[in-house]
């Protein structure tokens, strides 16, 4: 146990050097870390999946970026290629973190910009126009 405690103390010492912490917060953090390190070392009581509140997962999709909940990196869009580096498809990722299936994994500003661009292009109007008449065929006898 002493080995786990000394490792926990090193971590808490490093944390306390960068921010002010209350005494009870220090003690609780040491206890939690020592127990966690012991559990990892012995393989006891490891959580199978990380539980994240769906509201927190929805907040990962921000105005100018989307934060990957697997690696905490920020992107303008979470692509299938990036998610495959974590061994997930977009559908599995959404299911794992409780994101609604129809939610896009794209920053809101980029989504608005693309929507506006599509509205400006008015592709639906081009399809409804009648095609130009083909030239008349001339018969040679």
Could you read off the pLDDT of 25-56 as tens digits, one per residue? Answer: 888 888 888 888 888 888 776 555 556 677 77
Helix 2-18 × helix 23-42 angle, to 10°? 130
Domains defined along the chain, listed by start = 2-42 (no CATH), 54-121 (1.10.10.1550)
Q: Name which residue leads in pLDDT, 29 or 128.
A: 29
The radius of gyration computed from the CA coordinates of the chain, to the nearest angstrom, equals 27
Which residue in 38, 58, 56 sits closest to 102, CA to CA?
Answer: 58
Could you read off the pLDDT of 59-82 as tens digits, one per residue? Answer: 888 999 999 988 888 999 999 999
Residue-by-residue DSSP string for 47-71: -SS----HHHHHHTB-SS-EE-TTT
The pLDDT assigned to 11 comes to 86
| Mean pLDDT computed over 113-117 | 93
The pLDDT assigned to 50 comes to 56
CA–CA dist 54, 90 (Å, integer): 16
| Mean pLDDT computed over 76-93 | 92
Q: Sorting pLDDT into bands at 50, 70 and 90, what band is 7?
A: confident
Task: Specify which residues 74 forms β-bridges with.
Answer: 67
CA–CA dist 84, 81 (Å, integer): 5
CA–CA dist 39, 4 (Å, integer): 10
The pLDDT assigned to 133 comes to 63
Residue 79, token pair as written in the block: 């692509």
């Amino acid at each position: 146990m002493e080995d786990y405690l000394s490792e926990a103390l090193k971590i808490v010492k490093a944390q306390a050097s960068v921010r002010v912490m209350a005494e009870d917060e220090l003690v609780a953090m040491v206890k939690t870390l020592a127990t966690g390190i012991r559990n990892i070392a012995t393989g006891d009581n490891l959580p199978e999946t990380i539980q994240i509140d769906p509201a927190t997962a929805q907040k990962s999709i921000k105005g100018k970026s989307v934060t990957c909940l697997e690696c905490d990196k920020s992107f303008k869009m979470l692509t299938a290629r990036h998610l495959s580096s974590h061994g997930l498809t977009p559908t599995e990722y959404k299911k794992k973190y409780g994101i609604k299936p129809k939610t896009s994994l794209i920053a809101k500003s980029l989504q608005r910009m693309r929507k506006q661009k599509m509205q400006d292009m008015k592709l639906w109007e081009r399809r409804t126009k009648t095609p130009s008449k083909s030239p008349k065929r001339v018969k040679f006898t």
